[in-house]
Structure 1
Amino acid sequence: MKIGYDAKRIFHNTTGLGNYGRDIVRILTGHPAISHLFLFNPKASSLSKKVELGKATIVYPAGWFWKNFTTLWRLFGESKQLSGKGVDIFHGLSGELPMGLPHKKVASVVTIHDLIFLSHPHYYNFFDRIIYRLKFQHAVNHADRVIAISEQTKKDIIKYLRTDADKITVIYQGCNEVYQKEYTTQEKQEVRKKFNLPEKFILNVGTLQERKNALSVVRAIKDTKYHLVLVGQEKAYAKKIKKYIRDNHMEHQVSFIKNISSEELATVYQCATVFCYPSICEGFGIPIIEALYSKLPVITTKNGCFPEAAGPDSIFVDPMDTKEIKTALEDLFSHPVKRAEMAKKGFVYVQRFSDANVAQNLVNLYKNLT
């Protein structure tokens, strides 16, 4: 099979959506059912070196007009450039599909990661909500199959986009292979030294924005001896966190890390004691998967997609209840045997999100369309 991908996020997004696309290319490049991948990329990017191109060709806009109006190219030009490539399926990896695919007789798939702009609209401005709604609605209406990355997202697609449940397939995503390997004691020591990490600490990974709710963890460790390490790019919400830290003289308790490589982050995971992720809403929550692969006990949100990602042996809390979060942290720090048992069971659970399972589920869906 030859698969075309709307690859903008693969080459121009360093976090969640980009990681999803890069992982799909990586795990499908070696699959025997895949003969070639065409990655439709609006313009060159330094991230190209992170993409495994063994069976892949990057397709750029052809012609002066499309090169200068890449947004329009993604809407109309991508489908025009399918001709002659023998593409069997076109897959929109981030909620979008180009116009004109049916005329090219190419089957189409779209992945919907989340509909937070509809379920929690206050996190988005009005115009972004309108644009996202139009793009996503067009994609699910015209796709032959819709992939939801969690059962929660599937429910949201049915509720907000009025999509037939039979058209939607849940295919969980995995995580980068760097989180699936074990790092040496020396590598951990080097990372501890570089980022000045204490012997024991709580880890939280994700962009510092309101819906990720890292401030609840900071509030939970107030008047304790626990140390928190926050890893992620900083939005305006980070100022709110830092103000709380200053006002409560907690500078010695909280470390901030950003612009860290994937390998270093994977090592930081393996240095941590507990992973605490009381996010308010997600499509799935990849940092949870990364933590489970790193053999960390997980504390996360009790509702939404989080139980799907974290499994039955994690601890679930009300993300806004700092006392409940504090109690969960105290429980794990006081009981190392419990931490070890949770980590062991979590590692068994996370194998369902392995590269092999993700690849086979995608290939099975593709085969059903050809």
Structure 2
Amino acid sequence: MRKIATVMKILYDHQAFTASRFGGVARYFYNLMVALRQKGVETKLAIRFSNNVYLQNSPWFHTQSFRYFLGYMPTSMLFSQINRLWSSVQLMQKDYDLFHPTFFHPYFLKFIGNKPFVLTYHDATKDKFGDKFGHLDNASKELKQALLDRSAHIIAVSENTKNDLIEIFQIKPDKITAIHHATNFRSLSVPDTFQIKTPKSYLLYVGARGSYKNFLPFLKAIAPLLKKYPHLHLICGGGGEFNPEENQLIDSLGVASQVMYYSIDDQILYRLYQHALAFVYPSLYEGFGIPILEAFATGCPVVLSNTSCFPEVAQDAALYFDPESETSIRQQIETIILDDALRQSLRQKGYVRQEAFSPEKVVTQTLEVYQRVLTMSH
């Protein structure tokens, strides 16, 4: 059996970084690459052009930003093609021990030869529910099946997601390792001088609001509470400005003065969590749910759907509702608004629960997967 080279070389590709400026998947891979470097692993990212915020501010990975001179989608697709060519060249040079693609495009299969690759599987929403929730990613179930079958190992971001993989794709359990996410919010230092203006009393919703995120039904459910408690507001952090459909619903419910959108970066988001009555996550299905950990880290009480991975991630450190029941949503939100002792208790439980999710753990467990794969492939 050949010995593994003393310095492990891992190659990652452009897929999660070309078009997305922010986003959980890009952040996951960026944090992983940096932390592995700090452990002496050589991590290389095959990309030339990106507007990704993590890369732009990075001392480790050098990319060129680009202007959307053809419009957003056509320009992103063009630079994606250029980055794919660059990735393909890196793959053919074979100067790596293991490849970890950052999404499901199969372009690399032609170039990888007998080098092993590991896949991270984030979310089974599309594969579980088909087109019910619209267009979530470009990868068909058949394509994912082919990649999952061919991969040396699969990382799932929760036990719930691991079970989905076993059920939907018939993957053997011992080929999948569940590694929970972590958040950099635990170590984020926001200067005291950095403050933002918010209403005195508000609920916080974070991120995208489309389809399975269940935002519109959630809004309908809490509208009576906003009317009942005129001082109460709902802040939506990130996810883009309200679209015409959302604006129309907000107006028709008569809550326009109490529902507001905030553009966010990490520091703004940190403060939004800190000052919120509670963070609410009404999604119908998720692979993990990093905002839960962000809320824990900032001492923000958490109210969640009782579905998918949420009970696994938050355990007893959250209040739960049935996301498909207006009554259930409304009752639990009213409970959290009125019960100061409950909010305090959830804050404390959140601080305790977050100890189970450390960036150190993510890196150590991922490194173990890489080492296992390389040992078996030599």
The reply to whether residue 232 of structure 1 matches residue 238 of structure 2 is: yes
- Residue 215 of structure 1 deviates from its aligned partner by 2.2
Which residue number in structure 2 is paired with residue 20 of structure 1?
28
Which residue number in structure 2 is paired with residue 303 of structure 1?
307
- Residue 310 of structure 1 deviates from its aligned partner by 2.0
Alignment CA distance shift 1:73-1:215 (3 Å): closer
Higher relative contact order (CA 8 A, sep 6+): 2
Which residue number in structure 2 is paired with residue 362 of structure 1?
366
Q: Distance in 2 between matches of 1:292 and 1:217?
A: 22
Contact residue 202 and residue 275 of structure 1 kept, 8 A: yes
- SS of equivalent residue, structure 2 residue 119: strand
Q: Distance in 2 between matches of 1:254 and 1:77?
A: 45
- SS of equivalent residue, structure 2 residue 177: strand
Which residue number in structure 2 is paired with residue 152 of structure 1?
160
The reply to whether residue 252 of structure 1 matches residue 257 of structure 2 is: yes
Q: Distance in 1 between matches of 2:125 and 2:182?
A: 20
Contact residue 217 and residue 325 of structure 1 kept, 8 A: yes
- SS of equivalent residue, structure 1 residue 203: strand
- Residue 22 of structure 1 deviates from its aligned partner by 1.7
Q: Distance in 2 between matches of 1:70 and 1:210?
A: 26
The reply to whether residue 210 of structure 1 matches residue 211 of structure 2 is: yes
- Residue 9 of structure 1 deviates from its aligned partner by 1.1
Alignment CA distance shift 1:333-1:369 (3 Å): same
Q: Distance in 1 between matches of 2:202 and 2:109?
A: 49
Contact residue 91 and residue 112 of structure 2 kept, 8 A: no
Which residue number in structure 1 is paired with residue 290 of structure 2?
286
Which residue number in structure 2 is paired with residue 115 of structure 1?
124
For the aligned residues, what is the CA RMSD?
A: 2.8
Which residue number in structure 1 is paired with residue 246 of structure 2?
241
Contact residue 39 and residue 57 of structure 1 kept, 8 A: no
Which deviations, in whole Å up to 9, do the C-alpha atoms of 1:38-84 show, x marking residues without a partner? 10126343546446444x5779xxxxxxx97954974x873552355
Q: Distance in 1 between matches of 2:302 and 2:321?
A: 11
Contact residue 148 and residue 168 of structure 1 kept, 8 A: yes
- SS of equivalent residue, structure 2 residue 109: coil
Which deviations, in whole Å up to 9, do the C-alpha atoms of 1:137-178 show, x marking residues without a partner? 222011100111111211221222221111111111122x24
- SS of equivalent residue, structure 2 residue 103: coil
- Residue 242 of structure 1 deviates from its aligned partner by 2.2
More off after superposition, 218-227 vs 350-359: 218-227
Which residue number in structure 1 is paired with residue 70 of structure 2?
none
Which deviations, in whole Å up to 9, do the C-alpha atoms of 1:227-284 show, x marking residues without a partner? 111122248x8433322221121112211123x2222112211121101111011111
Alignment CA distance shift 1:82-1:284 (3 Å): same
2:196 maps to which of 191, 200, 203: 191
- Residue 362 of structure 1 deviates from its aligned partner by 0.7
Q: Distance in 1 between matches of 2:18 and 2:38?
A: 20
Which blocks of at least 5 consecutive residues in structure 1 are unaligned?
Answer: 60-66
User: What number of residue pairs does the alignment pair up?
Assistant: 347
- Residue 369 of structure 1 deviates from its aligned partner by 1.7
Contact residue 37 and residue 57 of structure 1 kept, 8 A: no
TM-score (structure 2 length as normaliser): 0.82
Which residue number in structure 1 is paired with residue 143 of structure 2?
135
Contact residue 206 and residue 239 of structure 2 kept, 8 A: no
Counterpart residue type for residue 174 of structure 2? D
Alignment CA distance shift 1:359-1:334 (3 Å): same
Which residue number in structure 2 is paired with residue 43 of structure 1?
49
Q: Distance in 1 between matches of 2:37 and 2:18?
A: 17
More off after superposition, 107-116 vs 216-225: 216-225
Alignment CA distance shift 1:179-1:247 (3 Å): farther
- SS of equivalent residue, structure 2 residue 180: coil
Counterpart residue type for residue 45 of structure 2? L
- SS of equivalent residue, structure 1 residue 12: coil
More off after superposition, 276-285 vs 260-269: 260-269
- SS of equivalent residue, structure 1 residue 295: coil
Alignment CA distance shift 1:58-1:134 (3 Å): farther
Q: Distance in 2 between matches of 1:79 and 1:243?
A: 46
TM-score (structure 1 length as normaliser): 0.84
- SS of equivalent residue, structure 2 residue 311: helix
Which residue number in structure 1 is paired with residue 331 of structure 2?
327
More off after superposition, 166-175 vs 131-140: 131-140
Identity over aligned residues, as a percent? 25
Counterpart residue type for residue 49 of structure 2? K
Contact residue 47 and residue 87 of structure 2 kept, 8 A: no
